Each structure stands twice: as structure tokens, then as C-alpha cells.
A and B are shown apart, each in its own frame.
Chain A
Amino acid sequence: GEDVEQSLFLSVREGDSSVINCTYTDSSSTYLYWYKQEPGAGLQLLTYIFSNMDMKQDQRLTVLLNKKDKHLSLRIADTQTGDSAIYFCAVLDSNYQLIWGAGTKLIIKP
């Protein structure tokens, strides 16, 4: 079955760009998502990308998809303290099931 992997932690300085990476195994995955979970809160959909796209940009967020390498990334420009959260990658597999990564905790250094 589909497997989705992410690093567990990423530490960046305030004002720098953060790049959170995700790899997946099912090449027939159609939709790929990034969710954000702030402490004590539920998961919030940040953005998603369809598999026929390479890139999607939304204000400070840029999603890059490399289908050949099965690699998805989320870039956050000008990282702020409010971006501290856990970021989950999720992939819709061929059975319409959402397969989740373990989440990457983004730590912002002043």
C-alpha cells in the first residue's frame, strides 16, 4: 500500500524560508495535501495540488511536486513565529483513501 514519509523536525530562523519535504510511494496518487496543526488544535487544510501540476503558489506558500521522484515539498517564505506547528503531508491513493505522513514539527528560532 501507499506509504508517506516526512522528517519529524525542521528548525529555521525567523525570516528565513522553510522547506518541508514529503515522499510517497504510489505513483497513481491523484491529490496531495498539506495540513497544519497548531498546538491543541485540529488540522487545517493549507493547500493541495493535483498530480498533473508541478507547482502551486498561494501567498507565502509554494508547493512543488516531482512526480518522477514521488516527492512533494512545501516552502514557506519569510517564516514567522505563527508558522510554528506540525505540518502533515497526505496523499489520496487509488482507493480514495487518504494516507498520512507522520508530520513535521516546524520550530522557529528567533
Chain B
Amino acid sequence: DTAVSQTPKYLVTQMGNDKSIKCEQNLGHDTMYWYKQDSKKFLKIMFSYNNKELIINETVPNRFSPKSPDKAHLNLHINSLELGDSAVYFCASSQELSQHYGYTFGSGTRLTVV
């Protein structure tokens, strides 16, 4: 299936741990994104990569580090997890940076920090 796939779907972990979320797209898109959706459903962009290069890095703590080994993958590594990191994290991709045709989203990773 052509899609944006994220793993894992659910992640429960203790404060202070380090965890990674993986994202892969097989749509041949050039640009990939990480979004955070809080409990009120607000969407906040975290990172944007175009052809493996970082384009947008919003005011995100440096405990969050994206890694793009190739243009089909954008992983998110989080160090020293905090309670406030609990949220749903969405990966998305678009054909190009100007994203005229919209984004394709993954189904999300629900991160719970206890």
C-alpha cells in the first residue's frame, strides 16, 4: 500500500527515558514533517525536511532530534522524556516544499509518559 507509515502506534514509557519514533513514506515525496497534536487537538509543526535537509525547526526543545537517512524516512528521537511530551505525534509528507497538493499523514504515534 502506498502510504505514510509510523511505528510504533502506541508508546508508553517512563520519564527520563529515550525513545524513537520511525516514519517511512513510499509516495516518492520530497518533503517530510513531524507534527505534535496535544490533548486539545491543536496541531503544531515541529520539523520539516526537504530532500533530507532540515527546512523548519520550530521552537522545539533540543531533546527532540529528527534524523532523515534518506528522503523516504524521517525518524524522531526524544531524549530525557518529560510528562509534557505526552501527545500524538504525526508524520506527514508532501510532494514538494510548496505542498500545493496537500499532505499525506501517517496514522500517528500516541506517546504517554508516566
Real binding pair: yes
Chain A interface (Cβ < 8 Å from any Cβ of B): 30-31, 33, 35, 37, 40-45, 48, 86, 88, 92, 96-98, 100, 102-103, 105
Contact of A45 among B41, B43, B90, B104 (CB under 8 A): B104
| Bound Cα distance from A43 to B106, whole angstroms | 8
Q: Is the CB of A41 within 8 A of B108?
A: yes
User: Contacts of B14 on A, CB cut-off 8 Å?
Assistant: none
Q: Is the CB of A44 within 8 A of B99?
A: no
| Bound Cα distance from A41 to B107, whole angstroms | 5
With A41-B108, A88-B43, A103-B41 as known contacts, state yes or no: A98 contacts B103, CB within 8 Å: yes
| Bound Cα distance from A86 to B41, whole angstroms | 9
Chain B interface (Cβ < 8 Å from any Cβ of A): 4, 40-43, 45, 56, 90, 92, 97-108
Whole-angstrom distance from the CB of A85 to the nearest CB of chain B?
A: 11
| Sampled A-B contacts (10; CB under 8 Å) | A33-B102, A35-B102, A41-B107, A41-B108, A42-B4, A42-B105, A42-B106, A44-B105, A96-B99, A103-B42
Interface class of chain B by DSSP: loop
Q: Is the CB of B107 within 8 A of A102?
A: no
Q: Is the CB of A98 within 8 A of B99?
A: yes
Q: Is the CB of A96 within 8 A of B97?
A: yes
- Which A-chain residue is minimally distant from B33 (CB atoms)? A98
With A96-B97, A97-B56, A100-B43 as known contacts, state yes or no: A42 contacts B108, CB within 8 Å: yes
Q: A42-B107, A88-B43 are in contact. List 19 more A-B contacts (CB 8 A).
A: A30-B100, A31-B100, A35-B102, A41-B107, A42-B90, A43-B103, A44-B105, A45-B104, A48-B101, A86-B41, A92-B99, A96-B99, A97-B45, A98-B99, A98-B103, A102-B40, A103-B41, A103-B43, A105-B41
